Amino acid sequence: MSAPASDGTAATGGGSVRGYGSAAAAGLLAAGCVAWSAAPLSGAPHAAGVIVVIAAFCAAASVTSLLVGPASDAMNFDPVTRAAQTAAELLRAVPWAQGVVILALVLEALHRSRPWHTGVLGVALLAFLFAAHLAESRARAAVLRPQAPLIAAGLGLLVLAVGAAALPAQTGRAADVIAVLAALAAVVVAGLALPL
């Protein structure tokens, strides 16, 4: 059994209960994001079905690459083991998680949806990316604590964007207030992001 590293990650390339839990959470979130962005598909182009299949494949491959874990530095001359290591390296080389995000957003854009529907998808995609990062690095969720203010500010901007999109398409006092709040929030988020 390996001792944990000082940054909260595992010292070896092997899987851990924490890594498998984060990978399972990432898998559930990926499946939820694909299903949420695809529904309802009524009225969507025929290509939407193909995109759903590709997005589901990307989600499954993303979870599989997370379960495989990081590359091993050990040299192995067994042909079967070397072939498995090569396949695992090829699997890890493709940015599957980014593919899930892009395809989910494409599916969301293919059909008419209410602003709150897109807002929920945005939060779910953010949670998926965090879960995938934690599973890949085998780190505790506490490593995200320094980014908590920036995450909270980003979620606040998302809420403001959903609220602005939900307002009727007309100018008025409420729309002006929302625009001022969004501008102030964007300045705050930029200020928080600059030190990073």
> Digits of tens for pLDDT over the chain (196 positions)?
344 444 444 444 444 566 678 888 888 999 999 998 888 766 666 778 888 899 999 999 988 888 876 666 555 667 777 777 777 788 788 888 899 999 998 888 887 777 888 888 888 998 898 888 888 888 888 888 888 877 887 787 777 777 767 766 555 666 667 666 766 766 666 665 555 4
CB neighbours of residue 29 within 10 Å = 22
Question: From CA 140, how far away is CA 173, in angstroms rounded?
Answer: 45
**Per-residue pLDDT at 59:** 92
CB neighbours of residue 118 within 10 Å = 18
Q: Residue 48 belongs to what H/E stretch?
A: helix 47-68
**Per-residue pLDDT at 10:** 43
**Per-residue pLDDT at 138:** 81
Question: From CA 184, how far away is CA 156, in angstroms rounded?
Answer: 11
Question: From CA 104, how far away is CA 122, in angstroms rounded?
Answer: 10
Whether residue 10 contacts residue 16, with contact meaning beta carbons closer than 8 Å, is answered with yes
Whether residue 92 contacts residue 68, with contact meaning beta carbons closer than 8 Å, is answered with yes
Question: What region does 139 belong to: left with phi over 0, alpha with psi -120 to 50, or beta?
Answer: beta
